[in-house]
Amino acid sequence: MNNSKDGFQWTPEHGLQHGLPTLGTIDPLKKHSATSQVYDVIVVGAGYAGLIATRDLTTTGHKVLLLEARDRIGGRTWSSNLDGYPFELGGTWIHWNQPHVYKEISRYGLQDDLENSHDLTRGINSFLVKTGGQFHKMSRAEEGQIMDKVLRKFVNVDGTFCRTTIPMPGSPSLGSSPAVQELDKLSLRDRLNQIESELSSIEKAVLEGFLAITCGAQDLTDASFVEMLRWWALNNYDMALFMEQCLTYKLRSGQSNFARHFFDEALATGRLEYRFNAVVKSINQDQADGTVTITTEDDNNNTSYHAHRVICTIPLNVLNDIEFIPALPPLKLQAANQGHVNVVNKIHVEAANSDLRSLSGTIAAPYDKLTYIFGDGTTPAGNTHLVSFGSAFTGVHLRADEDIEDTKRALQAFIGEGEGERKMDVKRIVSHDWARDRFAKGAWEWLRPGMTRKEVLEGLRERQGRVFFASADWAMLWRGFIDGGIEDGARVARDVARDLRGL
Amino acid sequence: MNNSKDGFQWTPEHGLQHGLPTLGTIDPLKKHSATSQVYDVIVVGAGYAGLIATRDLTTTGHKVLLLEARDRIGGRTWSSNLDGYPFELGGTWIHWNQPHVYKEISRYGLQDDLENSHDLTRGINSFLVKTGGQFHKMSRAEEGQIMDKVLRKFVNVDGTFCRTTIPMPGSPSLGSSPAVQELDKLSLRDRLNQIESELSSIEKAVLEGFLAITCGAQDLTDASFVEMLRWWALNNYDMALFMEQCLTYKLRSGQSNFARHFFDEALATGRLEYRFNAVVKSINQDQADGTVTITTEDDNNNTSYHAHRVICTIPLNVLNDIEFIPALPPLKLQAANQGHVNVVNKIHVEAANSDLRSLSGTIAAPYDKLTYIFGDGTTPAGNTHLVSFGSAFTGVHLRADEDIEDTKRALQAFIGEGEGERKMDVKRIVSHDWARDRFAKGAWEWLRPGMTRKEVLEGLRERQGRVFFASADWAMLWRGFIDGGIEDGARVARDVARDLRGL
């Protein structure tokens, strides 16, 4: 298990250290033949979309080159094993109701690797809401009730809690319905303004805090309301299921172990070549011989590779950092210029305090730098692992690696003054700054108002000549989730295979 | 679209006709080279388990022979298009929370082929419960409430409505928990006896009727209680979701169209050979050259085929009709001798009465030959399609193809005397008698008490030498569903591919 340059941790013993060990690093970092050869397919990006495309194409007989700008697989989903415990730096929770990812859990026999990371039996088994410096202590049942109440009010655009408006969240024609097109104009802030007179001050604070870390936008006026309606519909219009499907079940062995199964299966075919630390600069279809040429910068050299087809899994927010020849079509170009808005912070803390194991807490208006926390595991050392999310709102956005004391204060703020069971005795802080990650420029996708229409999403999914585009950012079902990356990578792999057969 | 010998229909014009047209018939019925050749894999059975195994193996470079006893693909799931409308003779409803089947819906781009078959806007929009000759008319909301109430009482073995007992319904180690092992001894009748004093007479009737057609047993003492707990957990401990995931969304184009996608993709690889009407008599591993020989009866001849590996997707209830050499291991043999207990009837009716489109009805104790019905579509002719299920209880089991007038009486009984809006003006009856189908001997799987323990299910999944076993009947997640067939076929295909590579 080698270190990736990605992520960082802080411990009292060693202070801040950049880079984290992960099963997602591949040794050696490159394995390919002469660059003059023409591959069947070059896959750009080794996140789940790229990994499943690579696996599906190599196992069905295609010669594939996988190019990855980072030094590891997994993209926006990866785990670091620290003292025998996997910290999930990006995408984490999955569920058997998420079809594309669970199908792969089945394939790799990892059903019993899935565990409920919550433990509601110990210590501060409460939901602590802090608003205006005051703590409101609620039972976990009351947490469920207030969340359910405010969300139901928020999504009830049709008197049926969104069931009429979005009856089937995975329908590709969803974004063409008149009701959805109308709602597509609204931001989360617009919708909050519509209903805020019906909310108590604490309800409003809890809702706004939830929205802040769910969309991860710097301003709720930038974040699409329809995206929240889709999440709600995907979770069967039910807040309890929302929490179960999106924040409860994770892999004991970590996401990078799961991702390795895809990579290793592809490699075992003998048809996979790859190169890490290869930053794609251009994708050029303007070749006389009908191939595509990709030029990368790696080890300070420019190298060109050639293929009959290319699968580009570059996230929406960095798509425009690559030169496409010919230029991207207008719909893709515009969507990439707009980008998605999620730059949320995710901070792990390992604390020597088992009283915190069952804690759930939120800091609502006025916001602190971290706004949501819950116990997510017990480390082999017997410490409590908590995961927290920080609002990206302007003025509070945390830079954990620049000021660790500020981060520790923000963590302590969830439980008030640090005495006795309320002391956050920090043994480790682990994170990855996705907002400043040059290969992601953001966390999970959250589109802007105006971007959930059918033609925008179809435009993002559409091939351009011999270049195909796959990403969780424009998936049909669990868009923005691990499931969506796997869905879209598999879709495009199949399209490419058919195209190469001349179908 | 050719006729299959399977199924039957009755119309006023033509009376009873055996055999139905279906997209599931393949033309020609055989396509294979000399029987002396040794295939990589022979797949026995072209239901979903066999189809996905065939597809996954052919697309990854293996030479496969598919042998099917029937004249069509699909096994216990197939549709017949009659005057432009698909009637589903077997498995019907699917949902995006069923991972293995929905992954394939994504693969074949059929997301918008999925539709909600219910329509609660027209005519008799009620739930009619008939007990002791009396009708009780309830609103659809009251139907939801009574079903929810009785089911929650039925499954509440732990004070948490089964959440503690079955926290993760897809866990392969589920059947090894002490709580589940204890409950495994109970039949549905045992559990009903435990709670019946808490039920009103109508509640008891509704619950017993629901259990009767869900397990399809001739006697509730034969049917496993844990199977119902698993269904409940799979449906997130929620009766409304139970109805949505199990009885609401179906494919506009019919299941046989979906099944064709698997077959056609396999065929397009050029690595699939196949033979229909080939009834497997024996699977013999006792060969000096390490291959497996399968002997079939087809066109009154015995033919032998040879392969390095065999995937047997024969359903549990007919597994013992095949001679295995060496004999099946004890666990498989015993489970096959016991069999599962579901011999429910499923009868479609097309009625010239649009008032019935929103009907839902049940006939509870004393039971009639059909006990549950609901509107499931509108045919191109403008008629109403209703689907009904008949209890298999001894003494009421319907043989629709033997006495159509009896069937019509049983249908009419759902709505009382046939006057005005209550007249069941039958234009067509369509069905398939799964109980007497020699290649299925039953409908969807419902195990007996004592059969849901981990070792029994693992025994059923286990390979025996070079023969691998796949079926929805012992799947891990949606056991007994279309999803389960796809899950288990894919599992075994991967095991076989690894085995052939010597891994």
pLDDT in tens, A403-434: 899 999 999 999 987 667 678 999 999 999 99
Indicate yes or no: CB of A96 within 8 angstroms of CB of B168.
yes
Structural element, H or E, at residue B11: strand B2-11
pLDDT on residue A418: 65
Q: Tokens at residue A80, please?
A: 């670091």
Of A61, A97, A116, the CB nearest to B97: A97
* pLDDT tens-place string over residues B91-104: 999 999 999 999 99
Tens digit of pLDDT for each residue in B258-308? 999 999 999 999 999 999 999 999 999 998 889 999 999 987 889 999 999
Domain presence at residue A2: no
Confidence band, pLDDT 50/70/90 cuts, at residue A83: very high
Residue-wise pLDDT tens digits, B232-269:
999 999 999 999 999 999 999 999 999 999 999 999 99
In a domain, B284, yes or no: yes
Using one digit for the tens of pLDDT, what is the confidence trace for B33-56? 988 899 999 999 999 999 999 999
Domain boundary among the residues B439, B472, B492 is at: B439
Q: Which residues of A have a CB under 8 Å from any CB of B?
A: 59-61, 96-103, 106-107, 111-112, 114, 116, 167-173, 236, 238, 241, 244, 249, 268, 476-477, 487, 490-491, 494, 501, 503
What tens digit of pLDDT does each residue of A344-353 get? 999 999 999 8
Contact by Cβ (8 Å): B249, B93: yes
Q: Are A391 and A213 in contact (CB under 8 A)?
A: yes
Q: Which residue of A has its CA nearest to B242?
A: A236
Shortest distance, CA B490 to any CA of chain A (angstroms): 7
Among B439, B454, B485, which residue terminates a domain?
B439
Provide the domain limits for residue B199. Answer: 119-247+339-439
Residues B190 and B147 in one domain: yes
Nearest residue to A375 (alpha-carbon basis) of A95, A8, A121, A84:
A121
| A4 touches A22 (CB < 8 A) | yes
Three-state DSSP at A464 gives: strand
Query: What mean pLDDT, rounded, does chain A reach?
Result: 95
Question: Which residues, 6+ apart, have CB-to-CB distance to B102 below 8 Å?
Answer: A99, A100, A170, A477, B94, B95, B96, B483
Of A59, A112, A170, the CB nearest to B96: A170
**Residue A72 to residue A7: CA distance in whole angstroms:** 12
pLDDT of residue A413: 92
Q: Which residue of B has its CA nearest to A490?
A: B107
- Residue A41 corresponds to which tokens in the numbers above? 């397919």
What digits encode the pLDDT tens for the residues A437-451?
Answer: 999 999 999 999 999
**Closest residue in B to A167 (Cα–Cα):** B116
pLDDT band (50, 70, 90) for residue B419: low
Helix-then-strand count for chain B, H and E: 13, 22
Kindly state the DSSP code that residue B32 receives in the 8-state scheme: -
Q: Chain B: which residues have CB within 8 Å of chain A?
A: 59-61, 96-103, 106-107, 111-112, 114, 116, 167-173, 236, 238, 241, 244, 249, 268, 476-477, 487, 490-491, 494, 501, 503
Is residue B167 located within the same domain as residue B261?
A: no
What does the alpha-carbon distance between residue B29 and residue A66 come to, in Å, rounded to a whole number? 42
Q: How many CA atoms lie within 13 A of A151 on its CB side?
A: 25
A111 contacts B172? CB cut-off 8 A: yes
The pair of structure tokens assigned to A447 is 């589109």
3-state secondary structure of A275: strand
Shared domain check, A241 and A139:
yes
Strands (E), B61-124: 64-67, 79-82, 85-88, 114-116
- Residue in A61, A101, A106 closest to B61 by CB: A61
Query: What average pLDDT score do residues A362-372 get?
Result: 88
Q: How close does chain A come to B295, measured CA to CA in Å?
A: 31
- Interface contact flag, A98 B102, Cβ < 8 Å: no
pLDDT bucket at B169, cuts 50 / 70 / 90: very high
Q: Does residue A47 form part of some domain?
A: yes
Question: In the numeric block, which tokens belong to residue B240?
Answer: 């409304």
Chain B residues whose beta carbon lies within 8 Å of the beta carbon of residue A477 = 96, 102, 106, 111
| Arithmetic mean of pLDDT, A61-83 | 98
Distance from CA of A107 to the nearest CA of B (A): 6
Q: What is the largest CA-CA distance in chain B?
A: 72
Alpha helices in B248-326 (DSSP H): 255-268
- Which of B96, B114, B244 is the closest to A99 by Cβ? B96
Nearest to B112 among A112, A171, A244 (CB): A171
**CATH number reported for the structural domain that contains residue B215 in this entry:** 3.90.660.10
Contact A46, A75 (CB under 8 A): yes
Q: CA of B141, closest CA in chain A: separation in Å?
A: 14
Are A490 and B106 in contact (CB < 8 Å)? yes
The count of other CB atoms within 10 Å of the CB of residue B18 is 12
CB contact under 8 A, A490 and B236: no
The single residue listed with the structure tokens 């790696």 is: A298
The answer to whether residues B397 and B343 touch, using CB atoms and an 8 Å cutoff, is yes
Cβ-based contacts of A487 with chain B (< 8 Å): 106
| pLDDT of residue A222 exceeding 90 | yes
Task: Tell me: do A189 and A79 sit in the same domain.
Answer: no
- Answer for the pair A329, A467: CB distance below 8 angstroms, yes or no: no
Q: Tell me whether residues A97 and B100 touch, CB distance under 8 A.
A: no
Domain boundary among A390, A422, A438: A438
* Nearest chain A residue (CA) to B266: A60
Residue B410 in tokens? 């049983």
**Contact (CB<8Å) A111/B170:** yes
Interface with chain A: mutation pick from B52, B104, B107, highest number of A CBs within 10 Å: B107
Averaged pLDDT, B164-177? 94
A/B interface, count of CB pairs below 8 Å? 100
Q: What is the structure's pLDDT at B133?
A: 85
Q: Is residue A142 part of a domain?
A: yes
Confidence (pLDDT) at B501? 92
Same domain, B343 and B235: yes
Residue with more model confidence, B83 or B133 = B83
Helix (H, G, I), strand (E, B) or coil at A180: helix
The pLDDT, as a whole number, for residue A1 is 79
Q: Are residues A266 and A146 in the same domain?
A: no
In this complex, do B99 and A106 lie within 8 Å of one another by their Cβ atoms?
Answer: yes
Q: Note whether A242 and A270 are same-domain residues.
A: no
Q: How far apart are CA B260 and CA A248, in angstroms?
A: 37
Mean pLDDT taken over chain B: 95
- Nearest CB partner across the interface for B100, out of A103, A116, A244: A103
B282 within a domain of the structure (yes/no): yes
Q: Taking Cα atoms as reference points, which of A434, A364, A370 lies closest to residue A397?
A: A370
Kindly provide the residue ranges of all beta strands, DSSP E only, lying in A321-405, ordered along the sequence: 323-325, 345-351, 360-363, 372-378, 384-390
A369 and A227 share one domain: yes
> What average pLDDT does range A194-209 have in this prediction?
95
Task: Give bridge partners of residue A35 from the DSSP assignment.
Answer: none
Cβ atoms A64, A43 nearer than 8 A: yes
Q: What is the mean pLDDT of residues A207-230?
A: 96
Would residue A444 count as lying in a domain?
no
B96 contacts A477? CB cut-off 8 A: yes
How far is Cα of residue A45 from the mean position of the Cα atoms in its chain? 15
Q: A168 to chain B nearest CA, in Å?
A: 9
Question: Model confidence over A89-133: pLDDT tens digits?
Answer: 999 999 999 999 999 999 999 999 999 999 998 888 889 999 988
* Residue B418 binned pLDDT confidence (cut-offs 50, 70, 90): low
Instruction: Give the chain B residue whose CA is nearest to the CA of A241.
Output: B236
- Which CATH number characterizes residue B471's domain? 3.50.50.60
Query: Has residue A276 got a pLDDT over 80?
Result: yes
A84 and A145 co-located in one domain: no
What is the least distance, in Å, from the CA of B465 to any CA of chain A? 20
For residue A309, what is the enclosing H or E element? Answer: strand A301-312
CB of B444 closer than 8 Å to CB of B481: yes
| C-beta atoms of A100 and B99 within 8 A | yes
Mean pLDDT of A216-231: 97
Query: Is there a contact between B106 and A491 if contact means CB atoms under 8 Å apart?
Result: yes
The answer to whether B230 touches B457, Cβ cutoff 8 Å, is no
Chain B residues near residue A98 by CB distance under 8 angstroms? 99
> What strands, in cross-sheet order, belong to the sheet with A360-363?
A15-22, A2-11, A426-431, A345-351, A384-390, A372-378, A360-363, A127-131, A134-138
Phi first, then psi: give them for residue B23, nearest 5 degrees: -65, -10
Lowest mean pLDDT among A5-19, A267-281, B420-434, B467-481: B420-434
- Given an 8 Å threshold on Cβ–Cβ distance, is B97 in contact with A99? yes
A147 to chain B nearest CA, in Å?
19
For chain A, the domain total comes to 2
B124 shares a domain with B145:
yes
**Shortest Cα distance, chain B CAs vs residue A95, angstroms:** 9
pLDDT for res A502? 87
B129 & B238 share domain: yes
Q: Are residues A179 and A38 in the same domain?
A: no
* Residue B22 belongs to some domain of the structure: no
Check residue B276 and give left, alpha or beta (phi > 0: left; psi -120 to 50: alpha): beta
Nearest-by-Cβ selection for A172 from B111, B168, B501 = B111
Contact residues, chain B, for A114 at CB < 8 Å: 168, 171
Q: How far is B214 from chain A (nearest CA, A)?
A: 22
Contact B131, B201 (CB under 8 A): yes
- Option in A167, A171, A249 nearest B111 (CB): A171
> Does a structural domain hold residue A21?
no
